[in-house]
Amino acid sequence: MQNSIFLALVQNAALLLALALVFDMSIRQWELRRVSLQQVLIGLVVGGIGIAVMTTHWQYVPGIVFDTRSVLLSVTGLFFGPLPTIIAALMTAAFRYQQGGAATVTGISVIAATSALGVIWRAVRKSDLAQISWRELFLFGLTGHVIMLLLMFTLPFETAINVLRVIALPVMVIYPLGSAFLGKLMAGRLMRERMTRQLQESEERYRVLTENIKDVVWVLDTETLFFRYVSPSVEALRGYTAEEIMALPVDAALSRQAAQELKEMIRERAAMYRRGQVTSGEFFRDEVEQPCRDGSTVWTEVITSYYLNQQSGHVEVRGVTRDITERREAQEEIHRMNEELEQRVKERTAQLEIANEELEAFAYSVSHDLRAPLRAIDGFSAALEEECAGALEEEGRHYLQRIRSSAQRMTALINDLLDLSRLSRAEIEPEPVDLSTLAAEIVQELIAAAAEPVWQIDIKPGMQVQADAGLMKIVMENLLNNALKFSAKAEAPVIQVGATCMDGEEVFFVRDNGIGFEMKESGNLFTPFERLHNGRDYPGTGIGLATVKRIINRHGGRVWCQAVPGDGAVFYFTLKRSS
């Protein structure tokens, strides 16, 4: 008997799933404007399916029958909501009442309970039904049919026990599985509906976009060389309607040579796509001059990608064509202006070269003409001081010393100015330079020439740069000379040469603990002849820091300083080519 029960219930479940599949396929064709009408229609169809499975029931005894209406109604409540479920429940309850028998009340109770379970489960469950799992559906079916079996106790107790003894195992094996399979079928329908809706929305957005943008969107079949789609904006670009463009091959209206080149390019790229050398995510950019209806041409930028049409098996091109006439005109204007600018630069460079040559010749001439009388003044003053020193009073000898000092200072100033002017024209020859060794050699020479005091020198070892060795020696001589000069009167003079990292950049520095200066007065410190201290106490021409800045700038670096009055100064510099 158990075998016959299993077979009958499996057949009934199979009929239910078959009818549900037919329902799922046909519901896609229903397009009713009012959602309520569609729900009524669904309820009527589901009720009809319920009646159909109830006519093929398994009968325990006359009046006590079993079928899969509980599966159908519970799943209907879960996936379609109250209105279709109520309609289907009323139809099946009416049919069960018409069938009559001892279990009429029980049968109607099962219809009401399983329908209510589906609706309540739907209301309580907040997550997406399209993503419902097999596990949850099985649990849902198990719950519904436990309730169904409990409702057997609406029969006389002894009858209920006998019915459960026979029907409990087949029901709990078949019905939860039937609920899970039917639920997955409905979940799949929801997923397809969602995907169809999203596709329709996407296509509508794409249609609105392509019909309203100025760019021309198109699809071309590389086998037939005919367009499959061209957006209406082509008429504003070329004067032809989209229908006219699609009626002709892509090479229409082109010269024979241009048409042949275009076809070869399209077919070559299509072949590359088939060979896997080009993917659908790669884009080509071309500038194409296209013919217009009025006989003129328009310059366009064409962006294309290749993909395989799964239906036709042809490689197709998706493209966007943009009018770049204004850009081309702007490019031509820029090209023309660049040519004019290059010509002007050449002319100006030639003029500057001539001016520089004349200025250099003038500088040498002036320096020669200036240094000659200065040497004479210094020489005659020295002779006068030596031969007539006894005849001169103290004030006269003081005047001679001032004359000689001024002449010597003027000579040094002229020499420094000439050196500064040469730096702008000197060719930079980068090479590895050991800055630590260079600083040590310069300090040794400068300290050897000084009688006092005794400096504490701290030079960081291993500082390597890529720079012009001769120019870097001038930089370090000027910075170290200043550091020694302005720290000479300190109680314990200290000079530091080192390197640090600032904002990811290597920065070198020379620090002293000398007299320092006010930072607000340092604005023109690197300008020629600018001095912050008395020339009698701290002699110099005022050219040294200007020379440092020019050399550092020529190396693509920067130079700056920080100082505190009475607490020394530190000069920082960077080199673009430092390593």
What is the 3 state secondary structure string of 513-564?
CCCCCCHHHCCCCCCCCCCCCCCCCCCCCCCHHHHHHHHHHHCCCCEEEEEC
Phi/psi at 495 (5° precision): -120, 130
Contact criterion met (CB below 8 Å) for 561 and 522: yes
The answer to whether 435 and 472 are in contact (CB under 8 A) is: yes
Q: Which two tokens stand for residue 562?
A: 């920080």
User: Could you read off the pLDDT of 266-311 as tens digits, one per residue?
Assistant: 889 999 988 888 888 789 998 888 888 888 888 889 999 998 988 8
Tokens 């050449």: give the residue: 346
Average of per-residue pLDDT across 404-418: 66
* Mean pLDDT within 421-439: 79
How far, in Å, CA of 22 to CA of 73, rounded? 17
pLDDT (0 to 100) of residue 579: 38
Q: CB within 8 A of 379, min separation 6: which ones?
A: none
DSSP H/E element including 7 = helix 2-27
Question: What's residue 351's pLDDT?
Answer: 82
- Comparison of pLDDT for 174 and 23, the residue scoring more: 174
pLDDT score at 16:
73
Interval 345-350 mean pLDDT: 85
- Listed in sequence order, the residues at least 6 apart from 320 whose beta carbon sits closer than 8 Å to its beta carbon are 215, 216, 217, 218, 302, 303, 304
Residue 91 pLDDT class (50, 70, 90 cuts): very high
**What does the alpha-carbon distance between residue 380 and residue 375 come to, in Å, rounded to a whole number?**
8
List, in sequence order, the alpha helices (H) in 424-492: 435-449, 469-487
State whether residue 459 is helix, strand or coil: strand
Instruction: Pick the range with the lowest mean pLDDT from 15-29, 109-123, 146-160, 225-239.
Output: 15-29
Asked if 292 and 201 count as a contact pair (C-beta separation under 8 A), the reply is no
Q: Assign 578 a pLDDT band (cuts: 50, 70, 90).
A: very low
75 class by beta-carbon count within 10 Å (0-12 exposed, 13-18 middle, 19+ buried): buried
Question: Mean pLDDT over all residues of the chain?
Answer: 82
Asked if 577 and 554 count as a contact pair (C-beta separation under 8 A), the reply is no
Strand pairing class (227-230; 284-291): unpaired
Residue 389: pLDDT band (50, 70, 90) is low
Strands 505-512 and 559-563 turn out to be unpaired
Confidence check: pLDDT of 511 > 90 = yes
pTM for the complete prediction?
Answer: 0.43
Question: How far is Cα 19 from Cα 22, in angstroms, rounded to an integer?
Answer: 5
Angle, nearest 10°, between helix axes 35-54 and 82-99? 30
Where does the pLDDT of residue 574 fall: very low under 50, low under 70, confident under 90, or very high at 90 and above? very high
480: nearest Cα among 507, 502, 508: 508
pLDDT of the residue at 32: 46
Residues in the chain: 579
Which among 392, 384, 545 has a CA at the least distance from the CA of 475?
545
